[in-house]
Amino acid sequence: MRFQQKPVEEQVVVVTGASSGIGLATARLLAERGARRLVLVARNADALRQIADELNRAGTRTLAVPADVSRYEDLEQVARQTIDTFGGFDTWINDAAVTLYGSLDRIPMQDQRRLFEVNYWGVVYGSTIAAEHLRKRGGTIINVGSVLSERAMMLQTQYSASKHAVKGFTDGFRMELENEGAPVWLCLIKPSSIDTPYVEHARNYLDAEAAVPPPSYDPHLVARAIVFAAENKRREMTIGFGGWAIGAMGKVAPRMVDRAMEWTGYSSQTTHHPERPGMRDNLYRARQDGDMYSSLPGEPRKTSLLLEAQMHPVATTAILAGIGAAVAALLLPLRSSRRRPHRRPAPPYRTVTRRLGNGHDKHGPGPGYMSRRMEPGARPQARH
């Protein structure tokens, strides 16, 4: 499966869910980056045409194709119209999704099925249709999942389950394409809480307005990840350390994380801030679109160090290695000085000359020896 991804300036890109939120942010960023052809897909025909006109005026040739991703024939029409207009496409982005808020005992089965038709089957339809075309020319399929594919969230149980399914499908389909040697690469994008109209578009069965758990991140960060994945082969990319950390902790201490999320699950996903009524509930039909952000108060985070690390792994590794070496250089002398034994100073002893033998190994004066130093007139020692 050897093929070279083109720069986005040379690509034709299809974006589903392009009328708001992450899809809209991605379409605008692709246009800023110079993508020569864009195909925008969503149910809201009026909003889609307005966005296409905006991008066309900015110099990007943009085609708006109204479609419901839960209908296979609609996405087939998107592919045919793209091929007829632009001769084909290089990257297909599956971003469209809907959501439900509420406990399972309050959500009708019909609504739960509808969510899976959009979130899961929409990705399956888009991926298989795109792969059929890309097998001949090479390209990339990007599926927008969620960190909830790693850790389910109460009161969004069906949404979490659909994102688990998207992850499983993406991983399995990637292996099948790689095994057959097809020049097609699949990437899974996993956003954390993103400040988009997602919560206002939700069908809500709670007794309060819906919200995303903090911290929330700017949709432009997800758009950056998507555009990067269109040019660079990445298996997965996660946006937002908060969501990644919850997923990682859930693998290490699942019961502890369960209890923590049960304790905060309701309060972190509800708000008393009024939502825009024109956007409410797009489960079965399109509602007000055209905005990247929600109306919730607060400023989303504009940066994600985790995303930067995934986009630049070599530089990140070098920086971390340098930091580790610097820390080791600072701690090593300190630790070695602590381990050095304390020695008492030696007392100022006089130098002592050691004598060998028992004193009989030296020749000494015998009996009757008269010292030459005797004073005159002194009596000599008697001989024995």
- Burial of 99-127, coded b for 16+ CB within 10 Å and e otherwise, reads bbbbeeeebeeebbebbbbbbbbbbbbbb
User: For residue 141, what are the contacts with CB-CB under 8 A and spacing of at least 6?
Assistant: 91, 92, 94, 126, 127, 130, 131, 134, 184, 185, 186, 187
DSSP state letter for 70: T
Both tokens assigned to 261? 């999320």
Sheet holding 91-94, edge to edge: 61-66, 37-42, 12-16, 91-94, 139-144, 184-191, 236-239
Q: Which of 222, 157, 210 is nearest to 15 (CA)?
A: 222
**Amino acid occupying residue 132:** E
Per the CB < 8 A criterion, the answer to whether 69 and 122 are in contact is yes
Per the CB < 8 A criterion, the answer to whether 315 and 308 are in contact is no
**Length of the chain in terms of residues written:** 384
The residues that are catalytic are: 159
Per the CB < 8 A criterion, the answer to whether 171 and 248 are in contact is no
Per the CB < 8 A criterion, the answer to whether 208 and 102 are in contact is no
Determine how β-strand 100-101 pairs with β-strand 236-239. unpaired
User: For residue 210, what are the contacts with CB-CB under 8 A and spacing of at least 6?
Assistant: 101, 199, 200, 202, 204, 269, 270, 271, 275
Helices (H), the chain: 21-32, 45-57, 72-86, 109-119, 121-137, 157-180, 198-201, 219-231, 241-252, 254-264, 305-311, 313-339
